[in-house]
Amino acid sequence: MGYGRFALEVVEAVVDEIGADRVGVRLSPFADYVDCWDSNPEALGLCMVQSLNKYNILYCHMVEPRMAFMERKHRMGFVDEKRQIPRKLFSMRKIFTGTFIAVGGYDREEGNKVVDEGYTDLVAYGRMFLANPDLPKRFELNAPLNKYNRLTFTIPDPVVGYTDYPFLE
């Protein structure tokens, strides 16, 4: 139980206290910031989801590695960047026996695609949901989205950046 021993001990204690049907875990095996990284993130993720199976928790919410950007050329000759989600979670999704949730830069189209293909059960939308409090309605209508302002994510203001994004008219 070398990988994630503490995390698994916490999961076990929480499951024992409130029941597995009320427990979910978010894992970021590909994290590589603030001196937090693993030399073999795929092995870490696989080990953790396999270990979590024994607790029969409700869900495992996993973060994709950071997106890569690929240049593409428009027919008019303009170049832009298209984000490409690395999709490194499938081996972990195949092993985990509960509900699997992926997050990490998905938009409406890509989110629907990965669910339809069986890559994940559900898709989470963090920053996009923050900037669009009515995101399900916008997705339903295929409406334009508000852009989030990263500069307001960690400021102490209780209103600016969290509750000031506009709803659809």
pLDDT along the chain (169 residues), means of 10: 81 98 94 78 92 98 70 52 69 97 93 96 94 96 94 86 88
Sequence spans of domains, the chain:
5-124, 127-168
Pairs from 3-12 (Cβ < 8 Å, separation ≥ 24):
3/43, 3/44, 3/47, 3/48, 3/51, 4/44, 4/47, 4/48, 4/51, 7/48, 8/48, 8/51, 8/52, 11/52, 11/55, 11/57, 12/55
Dist. CA 91–CA 81, nearest whole Å: 28
Render pLDDT for 21-39 as a digit per residue (tens, 0 to 9). 999 999 988 887 777 777 8
